[in-house]
Amino acid sequence: MQQVDYLMLNTIIRNKANQAVKSLFGLDCTEKDFQINTTKPEFTGDYTIVLFSLVKSLKTDPISLGNQLGQWLVDHDSNFFTHFNVIKGFLNLTVHERYFKELLTHHYQDACFGKAPMNGQKVMVEYSSPNTNKPLHLGHLRNNFLGRSIAEIMKANGYEVIKTCIVNDRGVHICKSMVAWQRFANGATPESTGAKGDHFVGDYYVKFNDAYKAEVDQLVATGMEKEKAEKEAPIMKATQQMLLDWENGKEDVISLWKTMNGWVYKGFDATYKRIGTDFVKTYYESNTYLLGKETVEIGLQKGVFYKREDGSVWIDLTAEGLDEKLVLRKDGTSVYITQDIGLAQKKYEEFGMDKSIYVVGDEQNYHLKVLQLICKKLALPYADGIYHLSYGMVELPSGKMKSREGTVVDADDLIDEMISIAESHTQELGKVNDFSQEELKALYETIGLGALKFFLLRVDPKKKMIFNPKESIDFHGFTGPFIQYTHARIRSILRKIAPEKESNFSSTLLPAEKNLLLLSEQYGYTLKQSSEALDPSTLATYLFQLAQAYNSFYSELSIANAESSDKRDLRVKLSSMVATILRSGMDLLGIAVPEKM
């Protein structure tokens, strides 16, 4: 049997079905004309072609069409298809088991299995986007895990990927932490207090809010209206003055700003290293906030923007179902959308990417829609490539989090908690008596971080989610540790039984073997789907299903005491292939898999 492209069995079947339709009916079909799924367990077959979309154009009934297509495919490609059956509008096809045996022979240890060659396309993924007035929190973790995993999944699909981050390091919120430090710190530093730099600065952001509320309440108690009190509170006035001083380059303010941001960056770097986040380039708003003004001037000349009597510049998007949008204030200063246009231009000039993916929460849906629309009206070359990977907020069982009130779940604290829970669960299982203390520490971190990442990635990004730390560590549920444990189980088997150099595989595949091979074959197509949808949950679900299938296979069929040496070797190599896919897929999600646990 001729070896075919293992990555795209779904596509191969689609192409063969196209040939059949053209031969039988003289019709050229497109990819959209065929929906191909794996056959449901209650029916006989490997893949199912959904026929309804073809029925109308061919003017025939689905059962007749299915029988004609199925018979043609079996008659003309008996080395590939062995059987077919038609259930209503569904053509179920059985692929020759020699295909799966050859797949196993050639790829059971292939670390590149399922991954595509370079396609010449360049993609930028922007994620994380922290503020320097507080440490990373649970919401940032979902953002980081999404951004990193999408970047790696797209790499696996042949894209050149540039990971970037924009840091919000200027503005009134930064000044709030600075003013609070001046008032309450008495010269304290992260070094003098033993605090992590981003935590240290974040504490002063909370202190600012506490002091501000107290001052507002005090002014209201004297008879002042609350709205006026919020403007007149001394600490707020000091903050606004500090922002003006920063913008005017006042030396002592700039010095304090650099010092406190330096504390935060040191803290960020430690957290990024711990969670596996990395960037090709980091942009800072303090360097980019003046960008975009030149583009606005060009847009004014082209008639894309218009100027009001007060000198402010706007764009009218009412025809697109939006509203009028300010792009330059009357004093000539830019707003966020202006900066974003300028930064998009700068990134394109530096990297020339075909697509620019912004990993940003769904509260910015409108903003990103406006950004792309303005760029399109300006006929900027990168406009069509802008894509907003919008994701829902993460909430706790107790509800939403608020930074200024200090109710957010700090990323570092959560990671520590996850590792502690992983330690407790692992010790309950009692299978790590032969581990050294160093190995145990590494294992707990691997399990804890794996549980956290998988739980946040297993949900469709568009959906809001509630995070429960204890629920995420379950060695038997839809979790990262379940997949990690399955990988460790397989590696234990492979340490005891080595695969043979030559493969025979002469005996017929049993259902559990065929099912596991069929699922393994779908790894490449799953990566393709996950990349096209920009959805890591597609991959996470697949890896869980593969681990489930392996455990069913393992409980049903013996490996060491297989009925023949041929069967033992097939099952060993099948185990190796599954372990390779689990390791590869979990790595794309940013999750390590242990050799033993």
- 131 domain-assigned: no
Same domain? For 183 and 236 the reply is yes
- Decide: 16 and 73 in contact? Cβ < 8 Å: yes
Whether residues 530 and 564 share a domain: the answer is yes
**Cβ atoms of 148 and 110 closer than 8 Å:** no
| pLDDT (average), residues 194-209 | 96
Do 223 and 80 belong to one domain?
no
Interatomic CA distance for residues 479 and 481, integer angstroms: 6
How many angstroms separate the CA atoms of 302 and 203, rounded?
Answer: 48
Q: How confident is the model at residue 407 (pLDDT cuts 50, 70, 90)?
A: low
DSSP state of 460: -
Given pLDDT bands bounded at 50, 70 and 90, which one contains residue 399?
low
The predicted pLDDT at position 536 comes to 98
Predicted confidence at residue 361, as pLDDT, reads 95
| Averaged pLDDT of the chain | 93
Contacts of 175 (CB under 8 A, 6+ apart): 239, 240, 242, 243, 246
More confident residue, 87 or 472: 87
φ/ψ bin of 323: left (φ > 0), alpha (ψ from -120 to 50), beta (otherwise): beta
Give the separation between CA 73 and CA 93, rounded to whole angstroms. 9
CA max distance for the chain: 92
Does the structure show a pLDDT above 90 at 56? no
- Pair (268, 298) in one structural domain: no
Is pLDDT at 193 greater than 80 in this prediction? yes
Q: How confident is the model at residue 400 (pLDDT cuts 50, 70, 90)?
A: low
State the pLDDT confidence band at 11, using cuts at 50, 70 and 90.
confident
pLDDT at 516 over 90: yes
CB 481 within 8 A of CB 544: no
Provide the domain count of the chain.
4
**Using CA atoms, how far apart are residues 287 and 585, in angstroms rounded to an integer?**
37
d(CA 589, CA 593): 11
Residues 204, 255 within the same domain: yes
| 176 in the same domain as 72 | no
Rounded Cα distance, 391 and 397, in Å? 19
* Residue 553 DSSP label: H
**What band does 560 get if pLDDT is binned at 50, 70 and 90?**
very high
pLDDT-derived band at 397 (thresholds 50, 70, 90) equals: confident
Kindly give, in sequence order, each residue whose CB lies less than 8 Å from that of residue 288, ignoring residues fewer than 6 positions away.
Answer: 166, 339, 342, 343, 346
- Considering 218-222, 401-405, 422-426, the range whose residues carry the highest mean pLDDT is 218-222
Q: Provide the 10 A C-beta neighbour count for residue 405.
A: 11
pLDDT (0 to 100) of residue 186: 97
Q: Which residues pair with 283 in a beta bridge?
A: 166
- Domain span at residue 539? 412-588
Q: Which helix (H) or strand (E) holds 271?
A: helix 251-275
Residue-level pLDDT at 8: 76
Within-domain flag for 343? no
Residue with tokens 């392996």: 550
| Any domain includes 455 | yes
By CB atoms closer than 10 A (0-12, 13-18, 19+), residue 476 is exposed
Which of 27-36, 279-288, 479-488, 586-595 is predicted with the least confidence, judged by mean pLDDT?
27-36
- Residue 574 in any domain: the answer is yes
User: Do residue 466 and residue 562 come from a single domain?
Assistant: yes
pLDDT at 3: 36
In a domain, 283, yes or no: no
The helix (H) or strand (E) run that includes residue 56 is: helix 52-58
For residues 8 and 398, give the distance between their C-alpha atoms in angstroms, rounded to a whole number: 45
Per-residue model confidence as pLDDT tens digits over 68-84: 999 999 999 988 999 99
User: Please, which residues have CB within 8 angstroms of residue 194's CB and are 6 or more apart in sequence?
Assistant: none
For residues 233 and 216, is the Cβ–Cβ distance under 8 A? yes
Average pLDDT over residues 278-287: 96
Percent of the chain with pLDDT over 70: 97
Domain harbouring 436, CATH code? 1.10.730.10
What does the pLDDT read at residue 5?
43
Asked whether residue 322 is assigned to any structural domain, the reply reads: yes
Q: Are residues 309 and 430 in the same domain?
A: no
End-to-end CA distance of the chain: give it in Å, rounded.
41
The tens digit of pLDDT for each residue in 224-282 reads: 999 999 999 999 999 999 999 999 999 999 999 999 999 999 999 999 999 999 999 99
Task: Return d(Cα 351, Cα 76) in angstroms, integer.
Answer: 49
pLDDT tens for 414-440 read: 999 999 999 998 888 777 888 999 999
Residue 486 has pLDDT above 80, yes or no: yes
Higher pLDDT, 428 or 154: 154
Both 319 and 265 in one domain: the answer is: no
Residues 443 and 561 in one domain: yes
Tokens of 356: 């620019």
Closest CA to 125 of 112, 139, 142, 143: 143
Shortest CA distance to 158 belongs to which of 20, 373, 7?
A: 7
Domain co-membership, 304 together with 260: no
Q: Are residues 250 and 312 in the same domain?
A: no
Q: Is residue 526 part of a domain?
A: yes
- CA 558/CA 37 separation, integer angstroms: 30
172: tokens are 């009134």
Question: Between helices 523-533 and 536-556, what is the axis angle to 10°?
Answer: 160
With respect to residue 402, please indicate whether it lies within any of the assigned structural domains.
Answer: no
The last residue of a domain, from among 43, 62, 95: 95
Confidence tier at 31 by pLDDT (50, 70, 90): low
Interatomic CA distance for residues 337 and 551, integer angstroms = 51
Whether the predicted pLDDT of 184 surpasses 50: yes
- Residue 3 tokens read as 């070896």
> Domain with 39 in it: what CATH number?
3.30.1360.70
Looking at residues 89-98, what average pLDDT do you find? 95
pLDDT at 4: 37
Q: Where is 48: in which H helix or E strand?
A: strand 47-50
